[in-house]
Structure 1
Amino acid sequence: MSFSNGNRFNGKQLNVYYIDPLAPFFNRIIERRKLDLPKITFGFIEYLSAFVPNRASLIIVQNALDHSKSPLKGILECIESLEIEGVLYLRHFRNEAETEKYIGFHQYNISIENNDIIIWNKETKTNINYFLRDFAEIKTSTCGNEVIAVITKKQELTNGLIDCKKDIANLSYEYMGIIQKLNRVSFTFSYQWNYFKFRIIQLFMQQFSWKIRQNIKNIIKRISFTTKPRNKK
């Protein structure tokens, strides 16, 4: 979690909310290490408007949208949460799913084509500029391997683009699935074992420099990709 954006501008205090689905874990780290950092609020980008207390003037999504379950839904929720002329700032590494070989959360790519922001994977491709043409103004740019989009809200979203009843149903089913999974003995054992392995690896890796850790990480990725069989559709 990055706090690099700060909470003051031109000497004025800003009302900043940090929102992340892993908020309880980040907050635990902050408490354990007694860090002088603001607490993080729990929330999903796909349902952001339900977690934002007031209309925001600026929403920053950095290296997170391509990890979400539905990037397009996340963008719509951000637009819904903004005031008119509010800005959604997106900054992501180009085509992370391709880079990460579609492993884990990396299921979507973000790129720029003809100055339009594109979200795509092997099954879908969405031109965000075209999709939001009636509601927002979008400017795109790049910085090295990063893709940047500045989306300024011009109008409220059309009714029906965000279906609250469907959202409630989806969340309910996801919650039920999580509860069922957590109640399995096999899952509990697997989780504890994997956590133990993670802690051992983490302690081992901390003995090396950042550059060496990155090299080891890249080697592990390549090995995982070459040995892990693809699911047949």
Structure 2
Amino acid sequence: MKDNITGYTEYVDKWLSGIEDEIEFWDNYMRTEGGVSFYGFNETISPQKKFTLENDIPENLCGKEIKFIDVGSGPFSRCGLVSEKAKLKATYVDPLAEVYEYLKRANEIDNGITVETCFVELLDKKYTANSFDIVHMSNSLDHCFSAIDGIYQLLYICKVGGKVILRHHENEAENEHYRGLHQWNLSLNNNEKTFLIWRKDIKIDVCKLLEDYVDFELYPNQRENNGYWVFNKVVMKKKREINIGKNNYSEELLFRIYHYFIKIMIEKQKNGKDNTYELQMNPLIASIRDTYHSCANKKIKTSIKNAAVYGMGYVGRNVCFLLESIGIEVPIKMDTRGVGCGCIYARPMEEVDDFEDIDIAVVTAGGEDVYKKLIEKGFKKVTLIEDFLQYLNEL
């Protein structure tokens, strides 16, 4: 493992500066049942969520016990718990584990996992070499003090023949302007056609650096969660033992400061909640959430079987979730940006001509202008989102 202590203090200070926002985000997420992402909340917290890395389980381990670790898992982990191919023995670690567990208890959420405290740079202090069959990290390696040291640590705890799987947004530090936790860029969409880790003054070709130890598989622009989550996937199959050398990070000092800091943050959450995030929550999404619970309690019945939704931003996604939860299919999703809106099923209105079986079109963006265009296009019935929510609540 390389000695990357130079700049360590700067990275730690920047990381610490982003923790409060991270805690506030997850506090808001749990209290508002997903906030703007309400449509995916139930699946996120479900202890029955299917294991999303099924295709990465080697054939020789099917039906057997697999030791899996999700590093930087957050409170819920993207990976799911239930595998149909193997007996999953899973471990979840995150630097903010203590506060995540506190927030889950405070919001009475039990998603079937307990997150343990560990930094990726210090995995060798908690686990022995060759401990896990599959080691996973998603949207968190860019948060590290040293992303390269993080990869060495991931490979260290992975068994020879096992896999380290990374799933991250392209160049997240650039996208976030190096604010808070986002300190490194991970890239597959580059001129070199390789796996790069970089920031303004450093660029490392990871494939070249680790070619003696790892066979790489690179999958840019993958999609999950109905196409809403776009990520690059890197699969590293460990070929041989890897020497990480002396770990120079001052872990004892770090943990002591960290433990004290977390206690302060928990007390702040207990005694003086800052409602900035909640106040910014879209009131329409709050109405959709309330309607969802109302419909679930009443078990409503409606003659509507098929619907179209126009506008596939957060409001539209939540409307689709609401409709599907009460048995209304949404075969047509429209947005002026098409798939550029982040939904792979979205089409511009002009390209939609297969709406004969659509009972109603719900407008979540564009207001009266879009309403009139859909009427002119020939949809049987068109309604604005506010009127549609009122209709559902009156059933």
Normalised TM-score (structure 2): 0.45
- The aligned residue for residue 277 of structure 2 is 202
Misfit runs of 4+, over 4 Å: 175-179
Residue 211 (structure 1) aligned with residue 314 (structure 2)? yes
Look at both structures and tell me which one has the larger radius of gyration over its CA atoms. Answer: 2
Residue 150 (structure 1) aligned with residue 206 (structure 2)? no
Q: d(CA) in 2 for partners of 1:5 and 1:175? A: 27
Q: d(CA) in 1 for partners of 2:255 and 2:86? A: 40
Q: For residues 49-68 of structure 1, what are the structure 2 equivalents within 5 Å?
A: 49-52=124-127, 55-68=131-144
Identity of aligned residues (%): 22
Q: Per the alignment, do residues 192 and 55 of structure 1 end up closer, same or farther by CA in structure 2, a change over 3 Å counting?
A: closer
Q: d(CA) in 2 for partners of 1:122 and 1:31? A: 40
Query: SS of the residue aligned with 1:24?
Result: helix
| Deviation by residue 1:150-180 (Cα, 9 ceiling, x = unmatched) | 000001113xx3313x23xx2234346658x
Query: SS of the residue aligned with 2:242?
Result: coil
Amino acid at match of 2:199: N
Q: Per the alignment, do residues 156 and 178 of structure 1 end up closer, same or farther by CA in structure 2, a change over 3 Å counting?
A: same
Q: For residues 121-136 of structure 1, what are the structure 2 equivalents within 5 Å?
A: 121-136=199-214
Q: d(CA) in 2 for partners of 1:135 and 1:30? A: 39
Q: d(CA) in 2 for partners of 1:30 and 1:94? A: 30
Q: Per the alignment, do residues 59 and 25 of structure 1 end up closer, same or farther by CA in structure 2, a change over 3 Å counting?
A: same
Give aligned pairs, total: 198
Given candidates 162, 169, 178, the residue that maps to 2:245 is 162
How far the C-alpha of 1:207 sits from its partner, in A, is: 5.3
Query: SS of the residue aligned with 2:105?
Result: helix
| Deviation by residue 1:98-135 (Cα, 9 ceiling, x = unmatched) | 11111111111110233311000011111110111111
Q: Per the alignment, do residues 5 and 162 of structure 1 end up closer, same or farther by CA in structure 2, a change over 3 Å counting?
A: same
Q: d(CA) in 1 for partners of 2:162 and 2:86? A: 18
Residue 171 (structure 1) aligned with residue 251 (structure 2)? yes
Amino acid at match of 1:31: R
Q: Please, which moves more after superposition, 24-33 or 68-77?
A: 24-33
Q: For residues 11-160 of structure 1, what are the structure 2 equivalents within 5 Å?
A: 12-32=86-106, 33-52=108-127, 55-112=131-188, 113=190, 114-143=192-221, 145-158=230-243
Say what the alpha-carbon RMSD is for the aligned residues.
2.8
Q: Please, which moves more after superposition, 14-23 or 45-54?
A: 45-54
- 1:7–1:15 contact (8 Å) kept in structure 2: no
Structure 1 spans left out of the alignment, 5+ residues: 183-187, 213-233
Q: d(CA) in 2 for partners of 1:172 and 1:10? A: 40
Amino acid at match of 2:252: S
Given candidates 62, 76, 79, the residue that maps to 1:5 is 79
Q: Per the alignment, do residues 83 and 103 of structure 1 end up closer, same or farther by CA in structure 2, a change over 3 Å counting?
A: same
Q: Per the alignment, do residues 202 and 139 of structure 1 end up closer, same or farther by CA in structure 2, a change over 3 Å counting?
A: same
Structure 2 spans left out of the alignment, 5+ residues: 1-73, 223-229, 286-312, 316-395
Q: Per the alignment, do residues 28 and 137 of structure 1 end up closer, same or farther by CA in structure 2, a change over 3 Å counting?
A: same
- 2:122–2:251 contact (8 Å) kept in structure 1: no
